[in-house]
């Protein structure tokens, strides 16, 4: 897998679920907040859903071997001058390099899809902004929700500590999302969820306690190359490798 940064153009498979978006991120409440599932891991995912998460999965804190492709991607200069992507490059595939106490991580997906009538239409000679880029900045809102989830974890499971991340930490979040069962890595380098497509933000919490891990999502791309062929700047020199300079 050659993860690479998100482009400022939509290259995903789209969204198949109901649109929420920011500020349309929902904050679903389940009555008095009572969780009825049996295991703590399931309770945690249910509580995350009450805070608006459309996807939730858990992965053990272990080094991800595919992270080597990220270093190769940097060596080829495909980060297009984004020097910050060099930071902590050896440790991006291991959450423990960022949070040494980590034993598990909760990965969450928050949809930013919009109604089709709100989506820009490309016209000759004009560009189209990515859907997420026309919304208010999502970082602060998601950090607030993640901290609420972490507070809930600490209250329900004394002794548990954690650290939140919202795509600004030195982690290969898409790979962790894959192993947490949120989706698979498409040939356009995006995480594609069978439920949501690719229009969702990834965020999460590294925790110092063992939780029940998910099965990783299988690859559903098959022989399809629509995303590669549709790219107007020919930004994919090969499948799952994005040249951000194009």
Residues recognised as catalytic: 167
Q: Which residues contact 67 (CB under 8 A, 6 or more apart)?
A: 92, 93, 94, 172, 175
Residue with tokens 């998460």: 53
- Write the DSSP symbol of residue 208: S
Instruction: Give the number of other Cβ atoms within 10 Å of residue 219's Cβ.
Output: 13
């Amino acid at each position: 897998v050659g993860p690479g940064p998100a482009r400022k153009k939509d290259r995903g498979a789209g969204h198949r679920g109901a649109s929420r978006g920011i500020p349309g991120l929902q904050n679903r409440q389940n009555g008095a907040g009572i969780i009825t599932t049996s295991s703590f891991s399931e309770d945690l995912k249910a509580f995350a859903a009450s805070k608006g998460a459309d996807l939730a999965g858990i992965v053990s804190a272990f080094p991800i071997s595919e992270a080597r492709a990220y270093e190769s991607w940097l060596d080829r200069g495909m980060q297009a001058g984004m020097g910050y992507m060099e930071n902590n490059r050896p440790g991006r595939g291991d959450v423990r390099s960022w949070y040494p106490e980590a034993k598990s991580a909760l990965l969450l997906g928050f949809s930013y899809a919009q109604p089709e009538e709100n989506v820009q239409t490309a016209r000759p000679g004009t560009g189209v902004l990515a859907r997420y880029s026309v919304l208010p900045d999502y970082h602060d809102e998601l950090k607030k929700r993640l901290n609420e989830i972490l507070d809930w974890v600490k209250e329900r499971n004394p002794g548990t500590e954690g650290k939140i991340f919202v795509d600004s930490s030195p982690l290969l979040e898409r790979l962790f999302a894959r192993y947490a069962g949120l989706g698979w890595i498409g040939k356009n380098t995006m995480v594609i969820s069978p439920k949501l497509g690719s229009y969702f933000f990834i965020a999460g919490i590294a925790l110092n306690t063992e939780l029940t891990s998910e099965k990783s999502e299988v690859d559903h791309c098959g022989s399809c190359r629509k995303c590669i062929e549709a790219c107007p700047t020919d930004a994919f020199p090969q499948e799952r490798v994005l040249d951000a300079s194009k």
